[in-house]
Structure 1
Amino acid sequence: MRTYERYWWWVKEKKQMALVLFMIVTLMLQLQMKGCVGCLETERMGLLQLKSYLKNGFEVEEEGMMKSWSHDDPSSDCCHWKRVKCSDATGGHVVHLSLNGLIPVNYEFKDQSLNLSLLHSFPQLQSLDFAFSHFSDLFDPINGHKSFQKLEKLRTLDFYYNRLNNSVFTFLSEARSLRTLNVSHNLLDGVFPPNVSIMTKLKTLDLSYNELSDASQIKGKSSSRNDTCGVAVLKDMPMLQELDLSDNRFTDLDRLGVLLPSSLHVLNLAKNQLSSIPKGYLEICALMNLRELNLRSNALTNLPYCLGNLSSIRTLDLSENQMNGDLSSFVSDLPSTLEYLSLFDNDFNGSFWFSSLANHTRLTVFKLSSNLGMIQAQAESSWLPPFQLKILKLKNFNLGSTIPSFLAHQHDLRFIHISYSQLKGPFPGWLVQNNTRLEAIRLNNNFLGVFNISYNDLSGEIPFKAHLMTFDEKSYRGNPHLCGRPTNKSCNLERASVSNRAKEEEEGDGVIDMVWFYWTCGAVYISTWLALFAFLCIDSRWSSEWFYHVDLVVHHLQRFKDGCN
């Protein structure tokens, strides 16, 4: 055999060997990756220590707490344990711990502390949930109140429904990386904790259902606006977007408004003790990014006119207050961007023109009622609304015996509730005919005498009680999915039929999705292999470099083998 022929034969043989070696190495790497991206032993032991601490501290039996966290099997992958999530992107580190609701409902309350040093075994932890855990305080015997500084990746922390007091912020304020913090339903009281301002990266803060208050509620404190305490610290949190202070004891909205960050999108002050707004109050109107404002269940009697300048607001809930005055004027001055407006259970009276909503072209939910007698609706037979409502709720509303005419132009209603409104005559069947996606309609405590909803493809159980008992089967015919005594069709059979259909559809969808998933994965896998094989078979500079390095590795391995022999 000539020299150059032997050379090309050698090259060809080396190429074949290189391709085989490439396949073997790739397969080994794939198998190795599946084994490597799993539970780290240090974190596995850390989880077992955490389990032991919680079990002993709360005196909970083994079977009742984290049963899958087992000491018995050393090869058990903790990433597959319940309440634990790992991430391949972090090399298999634990990134999420959901330890909420571990304590039995009948657990006898007693002080229980959380040892934060047990969390330091998880340096990549991003989310931690300790809701419903009955902790009364936090401690760290090694790092003290700076314990959370060890968890540099922590983004979400949930202590919902514990027994923590204000001292918890000594620790929480060191969690500088947090984006979301929930300390609702705890034992916080007094003025707003000032060290919260250190947490400048917070986007969502929930302190609802506590006993926080402003300075005017604290004995020995002045109630003047010049007091630099309480919610003043929130002004230093430029990234804060959602703030929930509902169900606390705040009384002075003026002091709150001037101290809130302009970055807020959602502000919830429901169920406090807020009363009237001082004359000249303008600060809340500076929240130009505000989208949701919830002031439900307070004692407010008015709002500033400048509220109409909030160009981003979508939701405004003023229900269960003492709002009064000219209702139509009040509504027309509200921001035109509103999609949700609730004035339910207030003290409005007098007349109301539905056309005062003419500027609210995006409105989908409207709720209105009075605690002081009837609101008198004005007749507006020619008015055409610029919006399409989904929910309409009216109570104590004198509609003049007929449904408001503007509803004839609504075609997307899902829920209608018109009660105590002196409606008379036949049931307005066109309401159902015009709104094919209607889910519920309530016209209780009126004086309707004729009821017919036949041929509307309605579904569900007919409430056979009170005045509905006077209507026969003819009022419901043409609705094959209605059930109940008037139709002589059992609702149990109907529910079983609907459940079976839903289950079959779900299973069918699941099979189709999995088939496509397997075909797609197979196609991608085969295509990748073919592309790599074709690339290496081409006699290019890159393939030559590849074969050269493979040959070099084989040569060194051969020399190493010869040296060992």
Structure 2
Amino acid sequence: MVHEVHLANLSRLKVLIASGNSLNLETSPNWVPPFQLKILKLNSWHLGPKLPPWLRGQQHLSELRISNAGISGTIPIWFCNISSHLKFLDLSHNQFYGPFPCHITYPLSDIDISSNQFNGSLPFVSPNIEFLNFSSNSFSGSVTHFFCGNNSFSGYFILLGNNLLSGTIPKCWKKWEANLRILNLENNNLVGVIPSSMGMLSLFWLNLRNNSLSGELQINYTGLSFLDLSGNKLTGKIPEWIGMSLSSLVVLNLRSNNLEGDVPLQLCNLRKLQVLDLAHNNLSGTIPTCFYNLRGMTQKSSLGLLGYELEDETVIAEAEVVTKGRKVEYTALIPFVKSLDLSANNLDGEIPAELTKMELQTLNLSKNHLVGKIPSKIGDMRSLESLDLSQNQLSGEIPASMSSLSFLSYLNLSCNNLTGSIPTGTQLQSFIESSFIGNQLCGPPLQRNCSATDQYTPPGVEQGDQQDHLLSGSNLYMSLGLGFAFGFWAVLGSLLFNVPWRIAFCRVVDRIVLRMYGFVVEIF
């Protein structure tokens, strides 16, 4: 506990920085501090339940950071007088609700009110804003006035994800092209096409995932390292320019759209690419063998921390990767993540052997139409942690080298045409039976044991001399013909030469027809 008595004699105090502690500041409602602060950083203190009223008298603050401080309620009007002097403001990770009543005007250039419960329209923003984080609130309505309301902007980071924003993405991006580096509009309700004017931006990171954006990708971006357009309604083919213009791309996520056509070979030019997710589209054709040229996936990572710095603010880029059957968000660990996901498409052909030369942690090729065998050198993928080849048409045996994948913690080979015994080792026997069902496999962890005489044979080939004789070639067809002729004439001959039987049979048929006719009449 910190009481006002502890601060009573600090009349000359200008800077108070004590963030990252779990202290509780307890003061009376009418306390007037003896000091006028310029900088106050009390992140992670307990200052609630309301915004501390003693802040009202602090008329010289230029920096206020009180995130994760257990504060709730609405922002009082008097706070707008304080914010008009601020250059840095951080109210994130509290429980504020209602509209944000203050205009964001000069000199304020850095504001973070994320992870609260603010609602209503986005507040007015002055053109000198450099860092703005309004994500994870309940802001709603159009974004047009926010992006197009001024003649020019100096913004570097604009984070508006996880809100209730709607309408279309505006076309007024020319005023932002000089500085904007990070734009995050994920998890909103935006519709329409991605405007071509966004191609003017010199973005480092663009995240538009989980909206309802439609149309074809016709924007030729340059300089991007992170592009996430997943979870939309984009159509058409994957543009070839992605592999020709975005040489710095590290993460490309086009998951869960309506894209079609082949996987363009130009993607193999993305030498820095470490995460490629094209899952849940309508892609066809074969898997490019040139994926081995993706050096970011075939070599040990040499990338440092992937982010963008601006004075006191550093935004670390994040990537959403589906691995081990679940979604995982990576930030600081992105340089060490290598993932290839082409699942739930219409890809055919064989799995290229060249993929086994890649240093992947996640490989998902499930729910396609792949044929042939699992590459014999798949055990060379020593870093593999998650492998999903399920729901294809793969055949042959599981390569013995797979038992050497010591980091493998998720495996799904179900619903293929695999045969033979599951290779023994320290790894494969640890997985549950559902990882192998829908095949002709034996051995642990399956209940069916393998033996010298328990060999699996292709469909149509039986064991035993008698079965071979009955089901072989012409004998099969002759047996079927004789059986049909005998049965047909046995019934028909009886009806032709036995008049009473023929009359009785016709009466039965008549009754059946009349009953069916009456049933149909009742229905209509």
Range into which the TM-score falls when normalised by the shorter chain? 0.5 to 0.7
Fraction of identical pairs, as percent: 17
> Aligned with 1:344: secondary structure?
coil
Residues 377-406 of structure 1, C-alpha deviations (whole Å, 9 max, x = no match): 23655x476632221011123443531346
Q: 1:455-534, aligned counterparts within 5 Å?
A: 455=426, 463=432
How far apart are the structure 2 equivalents of 1:134 and 1:80?
17
How far apart are the structure 2 equivalents of 1:426 and 1:416?
16
Does the alignment pair 1:393 with 2:364?
A: yes
1:3 alignment counterpart: none
| Superposed displacement of residue 339, structure 1 | 1.7
2:253 alignment counterpart: 317
Q: 1:239 aligns with which of 170, 179, 183?
A: 179
> Gaps spanning 5+ residues in structure 1: where?
1-34, 46-65, 86-90, 104-111, 216-229, 476-565
Is this contact kept in 1: 2:350–2:373, CA < 8 A?
no
As a proportion of its length, which structure holds more strand? Answer: 2
Residues 517-548 of structure 1, C-alpha deviations (whole Å, 9 max, x = no match): xxxxxxxxxxxxxxxxxxxxxxxxxxxxxxxx
> Aligned with 1:338: secondary structure?
coil
| Superposed displacement of residue 292, structure 1 | 0.8
Does the alignment pair 1:188 with 2:134?
A: no
1:367 alignment counterpart: 341
How far apart are the structure 2 equivalents of 1:380 and 1:132?
51
Residues 47-102 of structure 1, C-alpha deviations (whole Å, 9 max, x = no match): xxxxxxxxxxxxxxxxxxx99231269999997795379xxxxx999752014664
Change (3 A) 1:443 1:162: same
Q: 1:159 aligns with which of 100, 114, 126?
A: 114
Q: 2:159 aligns with which of 195, 205, 212?
A: 205
> Gaps spanning 5+ residues in structure 2: where?
1-5, 17-21, 48-59, 298-337, 448-524
2:373 alignment counterpart: 402
| Superposed displacement of residue 411, structure 1 | 2.4
Q: 1:270 aligns with which of 209, 218, 221?
A: 209
Counterpart of 1:98, as a letter, is S
Is this contact kept in 1: 2:291–2:355, CA < 8 A?
no
Q: 1:117 aligns with which of 78, 83, 87?
A: 78
| Superposed displacement of residue 440, structure 1 | 2.6
| Superposed displacement of residue 368, structure 1 | 0.7
Change (3 A) 1:196 1:245: farther
Q: Which TM-score applies when normalising by structure 1?
A: 0.54
Q: 1:271-420, aligned counterparts within 5 Å?
A: 271-277=210-216, 281=218, 284-285=219-220, 287-300=221-234, 301-308=236-243, 309-327=245-263, 329=264, 332=267, 335-349=270-284, 351-363=285-297, 364-371=338-345, 374-378=346-350, 383=354, 387-400=358-371, 402-405=373-376, 407-420=378-391
Is this contact kept in 2: 1:384–1:406, CA < 8 A?
no
| Superposed displacement of residue 232, structure 1 | 0.9
| Superposed displacement of residue 157, structure 1 | 0.9
Q: 2:409 aligns with which of 414, 428, 439?
A: 439
Does the alignment pair 1:128 with 2:82?
A: no
How far apart are the structure 2 equivalents of 1:247 and 1:379?
34
Counterpart of 2:164, as a letter, is N
| Superposed displacement of residue 273, structure 1 | 2.4
Does the alignment pair 1:96 with 2:65?
A: yes
2:50 alignment counterpart: none
Change (3 A) 1:118 1:420: same
1:16 alignment counterpart: none
How far apart are the structure 2 equivalents of 1:40 and 1:427?
76
How far apart are the structure 2 equivalents of 1:246 and 1:253?
15
Q: 2:425 aligns with which of 433, 443, 454?
A: 454
Change (3 A) 1:446 1:202: same
> Aligned with 2:211: secondary structure?
coil
Counterpart of 2:373, as a letter, is T
Residues 164-202 of structure 1, C-alpha deviations (whole Å, 9 max, x = no match): 222x422xx148454242244423212422237765143
Counterpart of 1:289, as a letter, is G
Is this contact kept in 1: 2:268–2:293, CA < 8 A?
no
Change (3 A) 1:69 1:367: same
Change (3 A) 1:310 1:82: closer
Counterpart of 2:78, as a letter, is S
As a proportion of its length, which structure holds more helix? Answer: 1
Cα RMSD (Å): 4.6
